Amino acid sequence: MYGGVGCLGTPVVRTDAAAIWATGRTWWQIPPVARVEFSGSLRPGVTGKDVIISLCGLFNGDEVLNHAIEFTGAESIRTLGVDERLAIANMTTEWGALSGLFPVDEVLLEWYRQRIKFHGPGHPRVSESRMNDIESYPIIASPNARYAKHIRLNLSTLSPSISGPNSVKVSTPASVLQERDIPIQKAYLVSCTNSRLSDLTAAADIVRGKKIADGVEFYVAAASSEVQSQAEETGAWGALVQAGARTLPAGCGPCIGLGTGLLQEGEVGISATNRNFKVHKLFD
């Protein structure tokens, strides 16, 4: 996710984390770099999540396995909000990559300016000095950079898509699945990928004045307590609750198989989380 805000981040799995805690050391091999070049712009109703789902489905042969991804195409990237960039960078892990990095541009700098205003002076990480560093030393690829892979994607060709079942390597347009009229028992708007204020607001606009269908449990959790507070202030949170959404604590939950609302044997769910891998029960 860090790659959406001009920082390089890479995932650390549980075994890696345990080793770091035990030894205080780790290692990281510099990976090959794949250039993903965007052109065009997203049509109304298409989001950053659809971008990364489409990439996972279109290039599903381990093309970027263990690569670092650099997203390019300045004109197209300028049309993507930071929330969309965060969703795309977050799920490069599901695509098989070690990291995904967007460039620093004016859209990101303005986002940082708003964060500084929100937090006020004295924040240890979001501050004027950090802002000055980002502006003075933006992350820019070398003009002589060489890439192991070069993937091109025209954003204007994409439509709302759904991945699965049980794999991000399978991507199907939502319109195709709608025609199949697949009954679902549970729905989720949770996780770090798609529970920011823009996501909650979009969902609230759809369900406002309506009720969740009988036989469907709709679970909602904000990406953070800060996001939940903002959604409460705007009325988006209340609209979701009034429609019948079941609220969960902010942060991780059903997306990693924890807490309330997990899919039971034989149930079908639809989710805005980052992971849809099948979980096998270890114990009864």
d(CA 207, CA 157) in angstroms, rounded, equals 27
Tens of pLDDT, residues 11-54: 888 888 999 999 999 888 899 999 999 999 999 999 999 999 99
Between 223 and 277, the more confident residue is 223
- Please report, for the chain, the start and end positions of each structural domain, with discontinuous segments joined by +: 2-157, 183-271
With left for phi above 0 and alpha for psi between -120 and 50, is residue 39 left, alpha or beta? Answer: beta
- CATH topology assigned to domain 2-157: Aconitase; domain 3 (3.30.499)
The pLDDT value given to residue 284: 46
The amino acid at 11: P
Token duo for residue 77: 């990237």
- Report the chain's mean pLDDT, rounded to a whole number: 89
Give residue for tokens 């290039």. 59
Tens of pLDDT, residues 165-215: 888 888 999 999 889 989 999 999 988 788 889 999 999 999 999 999 999
Give residue for tokens 């003075």. 136
pTM for the full model? Answer: 0.89
- Mean pLDDT, to the nearest integer, of 141-145? 84
The pLDDT value given to residue 74: 92
Percent of the chain scored above 90 by pLDDT?
Answer: 57
The pLDDT value given to residue 242: 96
- Mean pLDDT, to the nearest integer, of 76-85? 95
Asked, colleague to colleague, whether 2-157 and 183-271 share their fold, the answer is yes
Q: Are 34 and 66 in contact (CB under 8 A)?
A: no
Percent of the chain scored above 70 by pLDDT?
Answer: 98
The pLDDT value given to residue 57: 93
The pLDDT value given to residue 282: 45
3-state secondary structure the chain: CHHHHCCCCCCCCHHHHHHHHHHCCCCCCCCCEEEEEEECCCCCCCCHHHHHHHHHHHCCCCCCCCCEEEEECHHHHCCCCHHHHHHHHHCHHHHCCCEEECCCCHHHHHHHHHHHHHHCCCCCCCCHHHHHHHHHCCCCCCCCCCCCEEEEEEHHHCCCEEECCCCCCCEEEHHHHHHHCCCCCEEEECCCCCCCHHHHHHHHHHHCCCCCCCCCEEEECCCCHHHHHHHHHHCHHHHHHHHCCEECCCCCCHHHCCCCCCCCCCCCEEECCCCCCCCCCCCC
Give residue for tokens 């933006």. 138
The pLDDT value given to residue 280: 54
- The CATH superfamily of 183-271 is Aconitase, domain 3 (3.30.499.10)
Which of 67-81, 218-232, 269-283 is predicted least confidently? 269-283
